[in-house]
A and B are shown apart, each in its own frame.
Chain A
Amino acid sequence: MRLLSLTARVKLGLLVAAIGIGIAAPYLFGSFIVGLLSLALIAGLFAMSIDLLAGYAGLVTLGQAGISATAAYGVGYMANKVGAGIPAQVLVGIAAGLVASAIFAAMAMRTGGVYFIMITLAQGMIVWGLSIRLYKITGAENGLTGIERPSAISEYWQYYYFVLAVVLVCSFLLFIAVRSPFGSSIKGIRESESRMRMLGYNPALQKVYVFMVSGFFASVAGILLVYLNGFISPFAAYISASAIGVLEAILGGIGTLIGPMIGAFIIVYIQNIVSTNLERWPTLLGLIFIVVILFARQGLVGAVSTGWHRWLERRERVGPGDSAGDVADRPGDLSLESSEPR
């Protein structure tokens, strides 16, 4: 008896293959590429945290970099200015990120749609501005250096495995979260707030929860990054960092979780490898943004998934075990708007 549909088996196979390559990577590639892979994994986690808000709650945020930078500054401050140990650094980092998420959420919870986008944009930029002004805490433009990893993961490949493990665990947690009752209630908020209210949910509160969960993962990404570079500066909170995160999510496919990870790999590739040959690479990023929005809003994973399902339907003339399981896996679509104006 087949326990899994064909689609699920293919997905699992791809996942296992990817993880296998991930584990083998330091044996296949040199330190530069492995460093880039660490970066791509972190960017992927960041993009997934954005996807949680955008793809499942329907809230597109342009200020996620503000949250991850706040967490990174928490770590940096404890390491550089206070001289605390690693556990204290991480704890303060996560706490700082969560506090920022809570404040942002409280400010934005009564809005949605484009208002939400604008407000989160302003919030992210305000973190940037504050990190430049508050030089006693943040070192202003100079940023904070001297953020060291514990010796067990100080080598580039050791840290890579650490990042891989953390990102896998976080991805798994996100995966569970969106399939949990909490995830369903979030999706319900996106579909129709008034209906959820009738069912007894408080949409504003739900938004705060999902914002904070998303902020938690963004904080983790920010902390992983600050230990990768050993350095944090205001630039990490700039709008371009948030916007590129959104681009990664959309490029890969909103609402799919795996899509943003793929999108992140592509964008990191462009930023670091294509950029050495193409001086106008920011234009390329902008054009990709525009093209994806106009022609492929479901993103890569969405497009591939749709094509796959169509191929399946043509191939099999029914087989309830297969198609039924497949239809439920349709990815989200950025253009799905709630019927409410806000």
Chain B
Amino acid sequence: MTKRLVRAVALMAVLALVLVACGTPGGDETTTTAAPGTTAAPGTTATTAVGETTTTEAMVECTEPIKIGLLQPLTGGLAASGGDAKDGFELYWETFGQEAGGCEIDFEVVDTAGNPDTALQLVDELVDNYGADIIVGELLANVTLALADRLKDKDVIFMSPIGSADDLTQRDRDLYPNFTRAGGWTSSQTSHVLGQWAYDEGYRTVATICTDYAFGHEMCGGFVQTFTEAGGTVVPAQQLWNPLGSTDLGTYVTQLQGFAPDAVFSLQVGASVSDFLSNWSNFGLMDEIPLIGGEVLLDISNVRNVPPEQVLGLISSGHWAEGLDKPATQEFVDAFDAAFGRIPSYYAAATWTAAQYIAETVAAMNGDISDRFATLDVMKGLQLDTPFGPSVLDDYGNPVYDIYIRQVVERGDGRLWNEVIKTYENVDQFWPKTAEEYLQQPVYSRDFQGNAGG
């Protein structure tokens, strides 16, 4: 037994030495995959500035399509929202054709199941195997952070129209140079205006209940900061946080009642939305205390199955409002409704807008996006009319939007949607402060909510 074993081990050792002598495998491959979007023609033109037509320069011909990888949770607890995101993205290309700037657009949609590990495996496949130029994804902030980390050294553009972890376009901006949030938002961007609005409406004390993770912390923090800086008070100072995925929110509703505030601000996601809303109604608070929601609380994808009396009339703020009376918005809503039989949520609008950004940018680059950073610069210079309204990217890669105060109403055909009752124009991620002021403070968290009362 021993002699054979020794012989086997020796053989393997020799094999190993031979392989090492032949050179390391990683060294043979270039660490950056060649960008497939480039054309074969050697005389490729440099990027053209936006708006310039290139009549004199040769029209660039793509030999390979531009490849996009879209990662979303299509199974699991977020499947509804992820499905909306996928549908919105696909609908854009179906409507306008899968080509831009003379290049064919090819994309692949993969299912992360809401699992960050799966997402990391899949993004490797998309970048190394499929050869994606652009990665679009994902939904959850934690998965988005993991992806941003993984992709920061790779030759791709990473867009996140949904995952809204604030710091990716704020304090950690420089860590992720190939990241842009075109079509996206920061969590606190929409709640800043809501805090101001609440104070202007006359509310002086507000109790908050938000989901206990980064998204909830950031959205609540945005509200708390502007509300308290305007002069309001948050009661109790020890805010309420419910765990992500909570199944029974009756306990929290009971506590909120005990605080007797002028109004309650809440941000919930997924199943907790209908849980919260039904408890809010059933404990009789719908008639007692005004409820103000963070954008996702009253997003269509979360309230589709909720009895109307539990949501009608509720106010929230958002960059998306299905009832926004602008052509870009209504065309999108009608197209989506015709294709899928339901009113689109912000998830669908976000990926549609991301697709729009991609198409416009590729066109502006004449199909050559091999220089990723030049491409990102061009993307920043675009001014688009998206379903969200007008959109421009700030210096940090985050959009500047009109933010709307919305109210849930019943539209003509009996279905519910959010209509705009007030617009705050040109709100960037730092509103109402300047970037320098805002970045002095830490990112919103459990411990820092920007409470001016201390």
Which of A27, A141, A143 is packed against the most chain B CB atoms within 10 Å? A141
A-B pairs with beta carbons under 8 Å apart, 18 shown:
A4-B4, A12-B4, A16-B8, A20-B15, A26-B26, A27-B25, A31-B29, A31-B124, A132-B243, A133-B243, A141-B140, A141-B213, A142-B142, A143-B146, A157-B24, A225-B117, A233-B142, A236-B117
A235 contacts partner chain B, Cβ-Cβ < 8 Å: yes
Q: Which residues of B contact A335 (CB under 8 A)?
A: none
Query: B105-127 interface mask toward A, CB cutoff 8 Å, 1 = contact, 0 = none?
Result: 00000110011111011101100
Q: Which residues of A contact B212 (CB under 8 A)?
A: 135, 140
Q: Which residue of B lies closest to A282 (CB)?
A: B75
- Contact partner of A3 among B1, B12, B124, B146, CB < 8 A? B1
A229 contacts partner chain B, Cβ-Cβ < 8 Å: yes
Cα distance, A23 to B8, chains bound together (Å): 14
Q: Which residues of A contact B4 (CB under 8 A)?
A: 3-4, 12
Q: Which residue of A lies closest to B145 (CB)?
A: A145
- Contact partner of A272 among B3, B125, B142, B446, CB < 8 A? B125
CB–CB B120/A229 < 8 A: yes
A266 contacts partner chain B, Cβ-Cβ < 8 Å: no
Cα distance, A275 to B121, chains bound together (Å): 12
CB–CB B128/A32 < 8 A: yes
Q: A157-B24, A229-B117 are in contact. Are A30 and B446 (CB under 8 A)?
A: no
CB–CB A4/B1 < 8 A: yes
B376 contacts partner chain A, Cβ-Cβ < 8 Å: no
CB–CB B116/A233 < 8 A: yes
Q: Which residue of A lies closest to B25 (CB)?
A: A26
Cα distance, A35 to B11, chains bound together (Å): 26
Query: B64-84 interface mask toward A, CB cutoff 8 Å, 1 = contact, 0 = none?
Result: 000000000011000000000
In B10-27, which residues have CB < 8 Å from any A CB? 11-12, 15-16, 19, 22, 24-26
Q: Which 7 A-B pairs have the closest CB atoms?
A: A26-B25, A141-B213, A142-B142, A32-B129, A32-B128, A231-B146, A155-B26
B214 contacts partner chain A, Cβ-Cβ < 8 Å: yes
Cα distance, A230 to B123, chains bound together (Å): 14
Q: Smallest distance from the beta carbon of B229 to chain A beta carbons, Å?
A: 26
CB–CB A23/B16 < 8 A: yes
- Contact partner of A231 among B24, B117, B446, CB < 8 A? B117
In A10-30, which residues have CB < 8 Å from any B CB? 12, 16, 19-20, 23-24, 26-27, 30
Q: Smallest distance from the beta carbon of A322 to chain B beta carbons, Å?
A: 15
A126 contacts partner chain B, Cβ-Cβ < 8 Å: no
Query: B183-211 interface mask toward A, CB cutoff 8 Å, 1 = contact, 0 = none?
Result: 00000000000000000000000000000
Q: Which residues of B contact A30 (CB under 8 A)?
A: 29, 128-129
A289 contacts partner chain B, Cβ-Cβ < 8 Å: no
A321 contacts partner chain B, Cβ-Cβ < 8 Å: no
Cα distance, A16 to B5, chains bound together (Å): 10
B interface size (C-beta, 8 A): 46
Which residues does A use to contact B, with CB under 8 Å?
A: 3-4, 12, 16, 19-20, 23-24, 26-27, 30-32, 35-36, 39, 132-133, 135, 140-143, 145-146, 155-158, 225, 229-231, 233, 235-236, 271-272, 275-276, 279, 282
Cα distance, A60 to B115, chains bound together (Å): 25
Q: A32-B128, A141-B140, A279-B111 are in contact. Are A27 and B1 (CB under 8 A)?
A: no
Q: A3-B1, A132-B244, A133-B243 are in contact. Are A35 and B116 (CB under 8 A)?
A: no
Cα distance, A36 to B117, chains bound together (Å): 12
CB–CB A142/B124 < 8 A: no
Q: Which residues of B contact A155 (CB under 8 A)?
A: 26
CB–CB A141/B244 < 8 A: yes
Cα distance, A146 to B111, chains bound together (Å): 24
Which residues does B use to contact A, with CB under 8 Å?
A: 1, 3-5, 8, 11-12, 15-16, 19, 22, 24-26, 29, 74-75, 110-111, 114-118, 120-122, 124-125, 128-129, 140-142, 145-146, 149-150, 165, 212-214, 243-245, 446
Cα distance, A155 to B115, chains bound together (Å): 24
Q: Which residues of A contact B121 (CB under 8 A)?
A: 35-36, 39, 272
Q: Which residue of B lies closest to A280 (CB)?
A: B75
CB–CB A32/B145 < 8 A: no
Cα distance, A235 to B146, chains bound together (Å): 13
CB–CB A16/B12 < 8 A: yes
Q: Smallest distance from the beta carbon of A57 to chain B beta carbons, Å?
A: 27
Q: Which residues of A contact B145 (CB under 8 A)?
A: 142, 145
20 further contact pairs, Cβ within 8 A, besides A4-B4, A16-B8, A141-B142: A12-B8, A26-B25, A26-B26, A30-B128, A30-B129, A132-B243, A133-B243, A141-B140, A141-B141, A143-B116, A156-B26, A230-B149, A230-B150, A231-B116, A231-B149, A233-B116, A233-B146, A271-B118, A272-B125, A279-B74
CB–CB A27/B116 < 8 A: no
Q: Which residue of A lies closest to B120 (CB)?
A: A229
Q: Which residues of B contact A235 (CB under 8 A)?
A: 114-117
CB–CB B214/A142 < 8 A: yes
Q: A133-B243, A140-B213, A282-B75 are in contact. Are A19 and B146 (CB under 8 A)?
A: no
Q: A35-B121, A272-B121 are in contact. Are A143 and B129 (CB under 8 A)?
A: no
Cα distance, A92 to B312, chains bound together (Å): 52
Cα distance, A132 to B142, chains bound together (Å): 12
CB–CB A157/B26 < 8 A: yes
Cα distance, A225 to B120, chains bound together (Å): 12
Cα distance, A32 to B24, chains bound together (Å): 17
Q: Which residue of B lies closest to A225 (CB)?
A: B117
Q: Which residues of A contact B118 (CB under 8 A)?
A: 271
Q: Which residue of A lies closest to B215 (CB)?
A: A141
CB–CB A23/B117 < 8 A: no
Cα distance, A30 to B122, chains bound together (Å): 15
Cα distance, A152 to B448, chains bound together (Å): 39
Cα distance, A6 to B243, chains bound together (Å): 59
CB–CB A141/B214 < 8 A: yes
CB–CB A158/B26 < 8 A: yes
CB–CB B19/A27 < 8 A: yes
Q: Which residue of B lies closest to A132 (CB)?
A: B243
